[in-house]
Each structure stands twice: as structure tokens, then as C-alpha cells.
Structure 1
Amino acid sequence: MKTKLLLLLLMLLLVLHKPIWTLASPYPLAPSPQGPPFSPFPNSMSASSPAIVMGAEEQQIDSHKKMVIAIAVASTSLGAVILSVLCIWIYHSKYPSKSKGKNVQRSDAEKGLASSPTLSKFSSIKLVGKKGCVPIIDYKQIEKVTGNYKESNILGEGGFGCVYKAHLADNLEVAVKKLHCENQYAEQEYENEVELLSKIQHPNVISLLGCSSNEDTRIIVYELMHNGSLETQLHGPSHGSALTWHLRMKIALDTARGLKYLHEHCYPPVIHRDLKSSNILLDTKFNAKLSDFGLAITNGTQNKNNIKLSGTLGYVAPEYLLDGKLTDKSDVYAFGVVLLELLLGRKPVEKLAPAQCQSIVTWAMPQLTDRQKLPNIVDPVIKNTMDPKHLYQVAAVAVLCVQPEPTYRPLIADVLHSLIPLVPVELGGTLKVTQLPQQVLPANPHEDSSP
């Protein structure tokens, strides 16, 4: 930008160079087409020699005056041009264009994953091509590193397949999702996830490392999240014992940051559509990352005719379940359910009888707004470990997020701003505390708590 402006200034100087000296010259370059210049003296006076001398001197003085005036005018014009160019340069330096702003925003997001592993860095991994910008890994190598999909390596199960833990060469641990794409829906989810994750880069979104395929089998390789899913931590064998109040608020904050990126910083915006505790993964420091983008869609492409009604019972927003209406507020509803899980330690849907279930929203809503009842329904693991004001604030945020009417729900950006003051600075928020709880992290943070 600076170089272009300097070249523009130089061109202006070259253009102005000739006219400046033309104006400053006391002698015309060519006779005027209208005849000789007008003389203020009558013709009779030019016959006498003293009058001629005096006339010549006055003419010379007049010419010098014109030259001075011309130089002054030209200098003023040049100064104005230089000042204008300088103002334009300062403006562009201070206020870059919107397109440039978007590029900066994307590059900032990319910095968040600068330290994440990419398979192209490891020479021992056999790559057989690329799918867009995603490395394609040799399928036989995937079979080998998963122990031919050994059952003991299973980290979790989904609708179309399982996720396996694998050790690649160069001491790289990864998670391998194996999908059985025997129908169009499974194939569509695979294509959708690879395409979206290849474009999404954020510290709170899972990193896609590569993919592979063999006949009807599709493989997606991600970074390994050593502490498994939030669902496993809350509802697994440990029953949330590793998650302190502050860690739970950190996980909620990280999740909100990931959603805000999808809703406000992706072009076009992305709706996750399947946000739940099993799709929130935790690394060794309990940083939370959104995963499983098979059902995600870009905002504006959805309608009742071109998308299949999908989601998980307990997390699906009422307007989507009843009318097929899907917006970013649908993700906000699901986030509210996750927040209730963190707060109460209960599953999103619990069985009351063989043919009867109750959602956490229906059960908790009457008690969340009652300050006397609220402390009694909090997860016993974190009961009495937080500032009561913070407890009431989180409960209020959850209540707003799970409102039946989507227009009453806040934007995820508003949720994010409400949670930041509740998370200690050491964990990514702005809360300053003199001493964190004794067990901020579990005794062995590297222990894989996945089943």
C-alpha cells in the first residue's frame, strides 16, 4: 500500500513538473492566438525612447510578479495534492477495508491452531493424495495403526460407526472415526464434515488431520483429545469428580467461544445442529473443542424440504422439532441444555418408567428460578464450592437459553460475555481469585478417561 501511494505521488510530481515551469516563465512559449498581449500604454508613447525603457522595466517587473504569483499558486496546488495523498495513506493505514478485515480475522483464527499437528509434517505417514486441502492417508496404514480396528481401541460410538484411538509414527496420537457409508445419509455426513472442518480453524473446534476411504468405508482422522468427551466426564464412571466449578465454567466458556466463531465469524455462518455433551471433547488441560460436524449446515441453505430432521433427543430445540425451523438460536438452546448438565450433573433425558422420560429442562425449570430451591439441585460434586451470586447468574443464563420461544433466547455472543467474568484468568476468563480450588486439574491430567 505504501509503495503504491509513493508511486502515485511521484506520478503527480511528474505531471505537475511541466505546468509549474510554464507558469513561472516570464516569456510565453508561443504567441497568443488572439494577437499580442494587451499593453496598458497607448501607441503614441512607444515612440519615445525613455518611455520604451520605462515600459520595458515595468514589463519586466510585472513579469517577475507574475512569475512569483505563478510559483506560489503552483506550490500551493502541489502542497494540497501531497496533503491529500498523505491523508489517503493515513486513512487506509488506520481503517483497512472490510475484505482485508475478514482476511485478518481468518488469519487470527488460523493462529489458534498453529501448534496443532498436521499429518503432512510427518514423513513416516504415507499420503496418497489430497481431498481439497485435506491429506488423504493410505487406508492400509490406518488399519495397521488401529490394530485392524481392535475393540480395545474404541473411544466412542456414533450413528454410522466408531471412533478409535491410534498411535502413528513420530509419537503422534490421533482419533480415527470409521464410518460405514452404505447409504446416502452417511456419505453426505462424511462429505459435509470433511468439507466444513477443512475450512474451519479455531482453538475451540476439533482439528481435522486427514481422511481416507476404501469401498463403503470412510475414515476421518482428528487430533486426539485425551480427556474424552464432556458426556464421559459427567455421566461416566467418575461422575464429574474431576470437574470443579471453575473447570465447568471454563468448558462452558470454551463451548460458547466455539459456537460464536461458527455463528459470527464463518462465511457463511455455520449452525452445528448436533451440539451435545458427547460432541464436546476435552484435551489434557480440559480445553473444550466442538466436534462431529456431520449434521452441520451453513445458515441460509436450510428449509423443510432439503434437510432431514436430525439431532439428539433432549438437545433439539422445540421450534425445530415441531416446525423444522432451524436457526443459530437452535444451537443456543442445545448450549443451554449442556449448561444445565454442567450445573446439575444430570443427563438431558432421564427415564422415569419403561415408557416415560423426562427432560432436564422440564424438571429443572421451576427450580432454577427459585433461589431457595436452586442450591439443592446443584450437582453434589460442586455443591457449596462457588459464589452463590455466580450460581444464580449461570442458572439465569441457562433459563434464557432454553426458552421455548427462540426470539427470547440470547445470541451466543451475549452468553459468552455473561460467562467470561465467572471464569478465572488462569482458565481463560477475567475473574481474579486469590486461590483456585485445590483440585483444579485431576491428579493425572494425561489419563485418558474415555471408555
Structure 2
Amino acid sequence: MLSLTSIDVSYNQLEGPIPNGGVFENSSIKAFQNNNGLCGRVKGLQPCRGYSITKKSNGEDKHKILIGFISSILGALILLIAFTAFIFFLRRNSHVHKEAKETNHENLFCIWDFDGRVVYEDIIAATEDFDAKYCVGTGRYGSVYIAELSAGQVVAVKRLHSSEGDEIVDQKVFTNEIYVLAEIRHRNILKLHGFCSHIHHSFLICEYLVHGSLGKVLCNIEEATKLDWTKRINIVKSVANALAYMHHGSSQTIVHRDISSNNILLDAEYEACISDFGTARLLNPHSSNWTAQAGAYGYVAPELAHSMRVTDKCDVYSFGVVTLEVITGKHPGDLISDLTSSPPSPPLGYNILVKDILDPCLSAPPVHIAEELFTIVKLAFKCISVSPQSRLEVANGSGLGYTVTVKMKIKMLDVKIEDVEDVRFECLRIRIEK
């Protein structure tokens, strides 16, 4: 438009304002005649009232710029709101998940009727965050601590071992231990007071028995002397009753799989309780259960070395080992090896008598105690049979059925070890005490 020197738009029926300046401003009226709708500053045309094309153009540009600016601001604001909402959603989900996780890990004190969080903090304070000075024992699945709660109650806290990347060593072990123990109510099975599954600590809370494990007592001559023959017989009866309850006292067979002197605890009166169900399993008595080998060395049934088929007969074998340990005052590994070898090897070949295997830290028992001790030895020998089918069976009933029902006119403790199996009684079964 700047290079034009003349213009003629006449007779075109045009209308609207003529631009100012340039070739338009210097043109004559003839260049615009017969265009009734035109207006402008050219002499002879009607002036444009209140209208400037330059102003309109500038106004339109400003209007467009304003609209673009506002649109950009609104778009950025919408994006910011969307991003903020997305971050809030993520954080909210993370917070809810964290709360749920904390709830799952901290509020599992469902056995007790008070706030689990309070008890958790109480135990952490009582053990000074599980300081070693409060530890009284360590097993395969955890360490046991003594904790005196703020209310004055003393409890045993079994803290489960944790490994890197795992909240609990074995979730199944932990779950089984919780639910099996929670349902058991028997005087010879350790009571579960509560449990906690926390992101930092997973532990069970059990009753505390002052004399600790049977194994520790037998290893201490001073403590072992306090376990007279009557107390030892009662310990055997207590363990037998607990096993009978586990195997036949509920709708499902409960196989402990880790019966040993270290898992038998003694209360103030030296009555025994079975503890540590870390390897407990609920079994269908009509099906096979193939699982990993478990149990303390020296107490494991021999068939588990090659078959790993766990049944209640495995517990019966371990019970036989513990029974002989109670009678002899030490682990009967050598004695069992001699008894189960074929043919029997020394010392059985040297006419060893029953009285020769009794714990030497105690004096000779009176006659009525001697008769019962002999029967217990016979029971133990039946329990450690190499063949599971030949072992004793636990059964429901009243009282413990291994008392002598036929009085024999012999000194039972003078019976040779190899002849114990030949002494016959009318009754020789482990029965649950109602």
C-alpha cells in the first residue's frame, strides 16, 4: 500500500471508512464517487462519525492480546490446580496406606481389653527398647525378654527375629503361633496375653514363669537338686497332659514339632508348661503334611531325617527324650543310641540297671516313688522307638494312665535296662487330664 501513487474505487458500491494517510488522503472525490456507503476525511465525502479505523485496529489488537493473556493465565492456573490435586491425591493415598500399615502393625493386641498402642509403648519402655540386659533366652525364632509393665505385671516378651527386607521372619510361623496359642486354654501350655506386629518390632506377650526352662534347671546342680523325684514325676505328667490336649483335645491335631527341655518352662511350684509354638502347625489328622525339618538337635524323631513327614508321633518321640532327660538329669543321647542300635551296644551289655541311670544328684527314691519311676522309664522307652507305629499314643481319658496297675514283687529299679520292655502292665497310655 505504501508504493501506490493513485487509486480509483469509483462505481463499486463500497461502504465504510476510507483509511487515513498515504494515497487515500491525496486522492480526489472522483476516485470514490458512486460509492454511497463510503466516508472519511476526503473532501466531498461524509465524515465518519465516532469511528477511526486506526483506533479500531489498535483496539482489536489490544483486545486479542488481552484475551490471549487471560487465556494463558487461566490455562496455567488450571494446570497448577490439576497438578496440586494430583500431588494431594498421592499424598493422601500414601498417608492412608501408612495409617493402615501402622494400624496393622501396632493395634493387634486383640487378646487384651485395652489400647494396644499404650501396651506397645509400655513394653518398649520396660525393656529399654529390647536392651540385652532384659534378655533371658534366645531360640530359633526369637529372643525372650522380661518386662515389668507400668501396672506391675511381669510378662515374658518373645521378640521375633527379623531379617533384612522382612517385617517378620516367616509370616506363616507368626500367624500360626498367634492363632494356635490364642485358642489354647490349658494349665500346662504357656498362656498368650497378647501380640504385636509392628513395622519395627514383632513380638508375643506371654505369662512369665519364674524358674525358666527345664533345661537350664537340670544343668544347674543347685537348682536340679530342688527338683526332687516327686516334682520330676509331675513334670513328666504335665508335659504328657499338654501333649494329649494338643493332639486330641481340639478339633484339629496340633503338632508342636519342637518339644525339648528348653521349651518346657517351670512356674514357682515347678509345674511344667510347654512353650514356643514358633514351629507349630495345624494338621488334618487324615492327611499327610510334608514340611521343612524342625526341632532341636537330639530331640528330633529319626524318620524326619529322610522323610520329613511330620505327625504327632514326632512329638511323642521328643517327649520320650525329655522324659529320660528328667530322670537321668542330662540329655540321654548316648543311652538312646545304645537302646536303638541293633544289636544293643555297650553300656547295655554290662547289665546296667534302671537305678544306674537315675540322676545321681538326688538320693535313692522310696519304694512307691521307685515303682512310678520305673513305669516312666518304660514309657520313655516306648516313646523313643525307631518305628513311629510302635510308639505310645496319647488319648483322652481321666488321669495319666502310666501308673502301675499290677503290683510286682520285684525291685523295679533293679531291672536291667534291656529287660524293661519285657515287664508288662495292664495300662501304659498317656492320657489327658480333664
Q: TM-score, normalised by structure 2?
A: 0.60
Deviations, residues 221-240 of structure 1 (Å, cap 9, x unaligned): 10100110111111236361
- Aligned pair partner of 1:159 in 136, 140, 146: 140
Does the C-alpha gap of structure 1 residues 368 and 226 become closer, same or farther in structure 2, counting only changes over 3 Å? farther
Write out aligned runs for 1:141-152 (5 A).
141-152=122-133
Q: Is the 8 A contact 2:241 2:400 kept in 1?
A: no
Match of 2:180 among 196, 199, 209: 196
* Paired letter, 2:299: Y
Contact 1:233 1:242 in 2 (8 A): no
Q: Which residue of 1 aligns with 2:89?
A: none
- Asked if 1:384 corresponds to 2:339, the answer is no
> Equivalent residues in 2 for 1:49-448 (5 A)?
129-130=107-108, 133=111, 137-138=116-117, 139-182=120-163, 183=166, 185-236=169-220, 238=222, 240-300=224-284, 303=288, 305=290, 307-349=291-333, 359-363=334-338, 373-387=353-367, 388-413=370-395, 417-419=400-402
Is the Cα contact below 8 Å between 1:341 and 1:347 reproduced in 2?
yes
Compared CA separation, residues 376 and 383, structure 1 to 2 (3 A): farther
Quote the offset at 1:322 in angstroms.
1.9
Corresponding residue SS for 2:395? helix
- What do residues 62-119 of structure 1 show as CA deviations (whole Å, max 9, x unaligned)? xxxxxxxxxxxxxxxxxxxxxxxxxxxxxxxxxxxxxxxxxxxxxxxxxxxxxxxxxx
CA contact (8 A) 2:107 2:196 kept: no
The change in CA–CA distance for 1:405 and 1:244 in structure 2 (over 3 A counts) is same
Give yes or no for contact 1:230–1:278 (8 Å, CA) kept in 2.
yes
Is the 2:253–2:282 contact (alpha carbons within 8 Å) kept by the matching residues of 1? yes
Counterpart Cα distance in 1 of 2:145 and 2:403:
34
**Inter-partner Cα distance in structure 2 for 1:242 and 1:417:** 24
Mapped to 1, the partners of 2:198 and 2:394 lie a distance apart of 39
**Counterpart residue type for residue 159 of structure 1:** R
Residues 190 and 171 from structure 1, CA distance in 2 versus in 1: closer, same or farther, beyond 3 angstroms?
same
Distance 1:140 1:368, change over 3 A: farther
2:20 is aligned to none
- Letter paired with 1:417: L
Deviations 1:37-58 (A, max 9, x none): xxxxxxxxxxxxxxxxxxxxxx
Stretches of structure 1 that go unaligned for 5 or more consecutive residues are 1-126, 350-358, 423-451
Deviation at 1:214, TM superposition (A): 2.8
Structure 1: which 4+ aligned runs deviate by more than 6 Å? 367-371
Alignment coverage as a number of residue pairs: 286
Q: 1:264 corresponds to which letter in structure 2?
A: H
Alpha-carbon spacing, 1:369–1:420, altered in 2? closer, same or farther (3 Å): farther
Q: Is the 8 A contact 1:371 1:392 kept in 2?
A: no
Could you say what secondary structure the match of 1:417 adopts? coil
1:390 shift after superposition: 2.6
Structure with higher Rg: it is 2
Classify 1:283/1:336 alpha carbon distance in 2 versus 1 (closer, same or farther; 3 Å): same
In structure 1, how many angstroms separate the alpha carbons of the residues matched to 2:315 and 2:349?
Answer: 22
Unaligned runs of 5+ in 2: 1-104, 406-434
Q: Which amino acid aligns with 1:180?
A: H
Whether the 8 Å CA contact 1:154–1:165 is kept in 2: the answer is yes
Asked whether the equivalents of residues 243 and 394 of structure 2 are also in contact (C-alpha less than 8 Å), the reply is: yes
* Counterpart amino acid of residue 147 in structure 1: E
Question: Distance in 2 between the 1:259 and 1:298 partners?
Answer: 14
TM-score by length of 1: 0.58
Name the Cα RMSD after superposition.
2.9
For the residues of structure 1 that align with 2:348 and 2:329, how far apart are their CA atoms? 14
Q: Distance in 2 between matches of 1:288 and 1:370?
A: 35
Helix, strand or coil at the partner of 2:189: coil
How far residue 376 of structure 1 moved from its aligned partner, in angstroms, is 1.5
Q: Which amino acid aligns with 1:137?
A: G
Decide whether aligned partners of structure 1 residues 177 and 421 sit closer, same or farther in structure 2, where only a CA change above 3 A counts: farther
Label 1:234 to 1:363 Cα distance change in 2 as closer, same or farther (>3 A). Answer: farther
CA deviation string 1:226-283 (max 9, x = no partner):
1101111112363611100010000010111111111111121111111111111111
Quick check: 2:264–2:275 contact (8 Å CA) kept in 1?
yes
Q: Do the aligned partners of 1:193 and 1:293 also contact (CA within 8 Å) in 2?
A: yes
Q: Quote the offset at 1:167 in angstroms.
A: 0.6
Identity of aligned residues (%): 30
The separation in 2 between residues aligned to 1:143 and 1:130, in whole angstroms, is 16
Q: 2 CA distance for matches of 1:348 and 1:230?
A: 15
Distance 1:212 1:265 in 2: 27
Amino acid at match of 2:358: V
- The answer to which structure, 1 or 2, has the higher relative contact order (CA under 8 A, 6+ apart) is 1
